[in-house]
A and B are shown apart, each in its own frame.
Chain A
Amino acid sequence: MKDERGKAWDSLPNERGYFGDFGGRFVPEILAPALDELTKAYRESVVDGEFSRRLETLSRDYCGRPTPLSYAQRLSEYLGGARIYLKREDLAHTGAHKINNALGQGLLAERMGKGRIIAETGAGQHGVAAATVAALLGLDCRVYMGEMDMQRQEPNVFRMRLLGAEVTPVDSGSKTLKDAINEAIRDWVTNVDDTFYLLGSVLGPHPYPTMVRNFQRVIGDEARIQIREAAGSLPDLCIACVGGGSNAIGLFYPFLGDETELVGVEAGGLGLSTGKHASRFNDPRLGRPGVLHGTRSYVLQDEDGQILDTHSISAGLDYASVGPEHANLRALGRATYTTATDDEALEALHTLCRLEGIIPALESAHALAEAMKRAPGMSRDAIILVNLSGRGDKDLGTIMEKLGDEL
């Protein structure tokens, strides 16, 4: 897989886990041997036909893959420009793309003989996916979740508990995803021998960004085939929301060698000028390269290098850093990153509900908002592929609060 300049995208990362200047392994020494063990086990699993077959079988029979590609006809006509296709990760088991990675890592945990998995979660989608896989494979599961996220994603907390996972509230710092990751890492350093850390995004120390990408690339691999069948050609534009960035890299990665434009959408929150957002790339006052949770990437931080609290209506995008491979794609100019505000995401969500009968997750609604901005300016022959990364049932409480009076 090479781009037009002959650059081999699939040669990244290097041996030390670097995508250009980003990535690496900035962890306490106690975790380094565990990461070496994980890297070795992951590499072995990749060349083990039996492992791949089991993952494929469960992806099909349990997760419901391949997920469909839907042509959003009424939305496209309403916008009056490009044809918009939706990759329906909302229809995967548990209602989001997170299951792809959770299943892959869960099987790896089983293969490594670890009887206990831990996970962090923001929106709760990764926590639910981890709890689901733990139930499927008979593993103990503890999920760390910020107290603030537990309040705004209450149904998911109950789902995880129903599935047999222990949900541990995290009341330190901003009580959101970053604090949940801190606490999961503290658990891991304490129980490193028998515990597998099932990290939910393309974040953290090497090999996580690579491993999670490879478990998520099924999204783009499927979509690339499906869109050729449905539309007769590759898309002009791929759009995905970017918190940590796993659904986005999963969609983008198989298209890196193509002509297709790739756009990631960050949470613009209350607007970039307010400082209340989660845009690592588009607010140079606050977002610059740094190290958080084991990887070097763009990080929202104050002038002293303290990590900033973020804001987004969507818990899944509410994180101060972003996957290192995205930082590299941006540096190389291969992908661009824009923002959608809370209000734009809500508007896009409402539009999709009424025109297509699909309630998207608030996260995915950020990607839709960008599609709605771009489509009217493109020709009717043009094709936009949007990753509909999750369904919105979990967000009904938040949506009711915001839109309830209008209905």
Chain B
Amino acid sequence: MGLESIRQVFAKTSAARRSAFLPYFPIGYPDYETSLDIIEGMARAGVDAFEIGMPFSDPLADGPVIQAATSTALANGVNTRRCLEAVGELRHRGVEQPLLLMGYLNPILSYGVAEFAADARAFGADGLIVPDLPPEETAILSTPCARHDLAMVQFVTPNSDEARIAAADENATGFIYVVSLKGTTGARESVSEGLADLLGRLRGQTDKPLVVGFGIGSPEHARAINGLCDGFIVGSALVNAARIPGDAQRLAEDIMGALVE
């Protein structure tokens, strides 16, 4: 549980000489029950950890696919509390992978940061990813996260300079989320060209696991970056696939297949 479970994921994938695969999926899309079934199905496919999306009315780092999905989740009555309960339900169903909650800051502030961290841990979450919280503002969450053994992920981007990379490295627990491109979330035709250079630059500055996100959406992409990074996140492509029952789970299986072939 907690930070140790995340550490073990990267120990295992690194020993297997592959990158870890972390699907993102929002609670409440297309509806509450189905979202849990999809996550459970992906867990059975052997993915390494999850980013569990919590909806927010104004998701300004997200592209159209995740905007629409989280908007549906809100319309379905999903709120922060319900997302924490979903984590509990996933644990009850036997999902053992690390679960990192991904959500914007305001609903977490509204819940109360101390209460949120305590409840997240109590329901079985292992970490937190907050896209609108850069290192200079992260103190409000890092203290309660540390108290409850929750990872507090930090972001770096193609335009982060040395000082900002150092700040991310200093504040990150669990892993560093490497945004592979300038833009919002959403699958792209191919993996960002400058990614290898960016990862090389980061390796010189941090020992923490580097997990790439934004723009990755297919087994081909997975093959292209397998081994380059410690892990990668797929979000919009899975959400898109979920429009057809069974397709999100199948895409997750195909991506896992591409990593271990």
Which A residues have a C-beta under 8 Å from some C-beta of B?
A: 16, 24-30, 32-34, 172-173, 178-179, 181-182, 185-186, 189-193, 289-294, 299, 301, 303-307
Contacts and interface: CB of A to CB of B under 8 A. Distances in A.
A30 B158 CA distance: 8
Contacts of B128: none
B80 A305 contact: yes
B148 interface: no
Contacts of A178: 58
Q: Name the interface size band of chain B.
A: 35 or more
B184 A27 contact: no
Nearest to B110: A305
A294 B137 CA distance: 11
Contacts of B131: 28
Interface string B119-141: 00000000000011111110000
Nearest to A290: B106
Contacts of A299: 106
Contacts of A172: 67, 71
Contact of A190 (B107, B155, B184): B184
B192 interface: no
A182 B182 contact: no
Given A28-B134, A28-B155, A292-B58, 9 more contacts: A25-B136, A26-B105, A26-B133, A26-B134, A33-B161, A173-B71, A192-B182, A293-B60, A305-B107
A30 B181 CA distance: 9
Given A30-B159, A33-B160, A192-B182, A307 B57 contact: yes
A2 B156 CA distance: 41
Contacts, number: 114
Contact of B58 (A16, A27, A289, A307): A307
Contacts of B157: 29-30, 33
B164 A29 contact: yes
Contacts of A293: 58, 60
Nearest to A304: B79
A301 B182 contact: no
Contact of A294 (B107, B132, B159): B132
11 contacts: A28-B134, A30-B155, A30-B158, A32-B136, A34-B159, A186-B60, A189-B61, A304-B80, A305-B108, A305-B111, A306-B79
Contacts of A185: 60
Contact of B60 (A28, A192, A193): A28
Given A304-B79, A305-B80, A306-B74, A28 B182 contact: no
Contacts of B57: 173, 306-307
A182 B133 CA distance: 16
Nearest to B157: A30
A19 to B, nearest CB: 15
B135 to A, nearest CB: 8
A30 B182 contact: yes
Nearest to A16: B136
Interface in B157-171: 157-161, 164, 168
Nearest to A183: B60
A191 B183 CA distance: 8
A189 B183 contact: yes
Contacts of A30: 155, 157-159, 179, 182
A289 B110 CA distance: 9
B140 to A, nearest CB: 10
B157 to A, nearest CB: 4
A152 to B, nearest CB: 21
B106 A192 contact: no
Nearest to A26: B132
Contacts of B168: 29
A29 B183 contact: no
B260 interface: no
A391 to B, nearest CB: 31
Nearest to A182: B60
Contacts of A190: 182-184
A323 B61 CA distance: 22
A301 B159 contact: no
Given A29-B156, A30-B159, A173 B182 contact: no
A28 B63 CA distance: 13
A208 B137 CA distance: 17
B56 interface: yes
Contact of B179 (A29, A34, A173, A292): A29
B11 interface: no
A33 B164 contact: yes
Contacts of B60: 28, 181-182, 185-186, 293
B109 interface: yes
Ranked 9 nearest A-B pairs via Cβ: A305-B110, A305-B107, A29-B155, A304-B79, A190-B183, A30-B157, A306-B57, A307-B57, A305-B106
A32 to B, nearest CB: 5
Contacts of A181: 60
Contacts of A26: 105, 132-134, 137
A192 B159 contact: yes
Contacts of A25: 134, 136-137
A27 B79 contact: no
A186 B182 CA distance: 10
Interface string B87-109: 00000000000000000011111
B109 A32 contact: no
